[in-house]
Amino acid sequence: MHTIGKLAQFAEVTTDTVRYYEKEGLLLSVKKTDAGYRLYDEDSVRRLRFIRQAQKSGFSLTEIRELLALKNSDAACCSDVRSVAIEKKLQLEHKIRALQVMSRALTELVTICDDESKPLDECPILAALETSMIKKMK
């Protein structure tokens, strides 16, 4: 059995993170010591590492909850998990597109600013942003 501090250390997170996951229902302490301290077993360690790894792969806590439910469901199979992964990949591809559009817009703005010594009120980047805001409002 591990204390919350040890569990956090194993997964390289803070104890606050462990408490937060527990509050969100992603993690459960197995029992408490006589003094009321939470104790966790090896399964909690694996579960916490799973949560961290999934978060690093871009899954939200809601999606991780879904993955954990699939993991523990007798009726689920590998293709269910694969579907979740494909859906996540689609979302990431959409995000990448949106970020590329933003990046191109910023490149254009940086290009129009050819004189860095101009005073702030003549900054073409700020002017361009202001103009695009006015255009949107019209």
Partner 1 sequence: MIKVEVFSSPGCAKCMQAKAVLKAISEELGQDKVTWREVNILEEMDYAVDLGVMSTPAMAIDGELVFSSLPSASKLRTELDKRLR
Contact residues: partner 1, CB under 8 A: 79, 82-83, 86-87, 89-91, 93-94, 97
Nearer to partner 1, 31 or 82 (CB): 82
Length of the chain measured in residues? 138
Please name which of 22, 54, 25 lies closest in space to residue 40, comparing C-alpha atoms.
22
Q: How far is the CB of 65 from partner 1 (least distance, A)?
A: 17
Are 89 and 97 within 8 A, CB to CB?
no
Q: How far is the CB of 121 from partner 1 (least distance, A)?
A: 41
Nearer to partner 1, 71 or 95 (CB): 95
Whole-angstrom CA distances from 35 to 41, 86, 137 are 18, 46, 61
Nearer to partner 1, 22 or 66 (CB): 66
